[in-house]
Homo-oligomer: A and B are copies of this chain.
Amino acid sequence: MLLIRATGTTPLNADDTADTARLRMIADMQPPFARLMGAKIVEATRDRVVAEVFVREELANRNGGLHGGAVMAIADNLGGTATFLNLPEGANTTTLESKTNFFAGCPLGETITAETTPLHRGRSTMVWQTRIVRADGKLAAIVTQTQLIIGKDARPRTAD
């Protein structure tokens, strides 16, 4: 089930319904590269974006697990999506930098979960942290990335 709502805490009303539709549209407009990674967004609110990825053979490294490059690619896409969900219409974002620590391999044939939450949502930049978790619950990697906000009057909908 795809869970998309305006925020995690606000009760729904007419405005929220329009907002929720917009959030869903943003989350659905995944770029071609996200589709190549096979990332399927299962939750998208302003405070949390979650994707699931089946570790198919095309994503493999030399050791028969999920390639570290794929881990970073999946997380980068979520951080960009999460930023979009917090921007007013007309504003845009680009990744300034991204840092990943790897803790454990992810076996082929399993489904991993990637969860992105905010560390900072400011006027110029947002910083997101993504946890990559294996099917057995083990933390496989953590990605921290900075998004630059581009566009006139680009003020976030949510500030930390």
Contact = CB atoms under 8 A, between A and B. Distances in A.
Interface of A: 29, 31-37, 57-63, 67-70, 72-77, 80, 84, 92, 94-103, 105, 119-120, 122, 124-125, 127, 139, 142, 144, 146, 148, 160
Nearest to A105: B94
A146 to B, nearest CB: 6
A58 B38 CA distance: 12
Q: Which 5 A-B pairs have the closest CB atoms?
A: A69-B73, A33-B67, A69-B76, A72-B72, A103-B120
A132 B40 CA distance: 28
Nearest to A78: B69
B120 A139 contact: yes
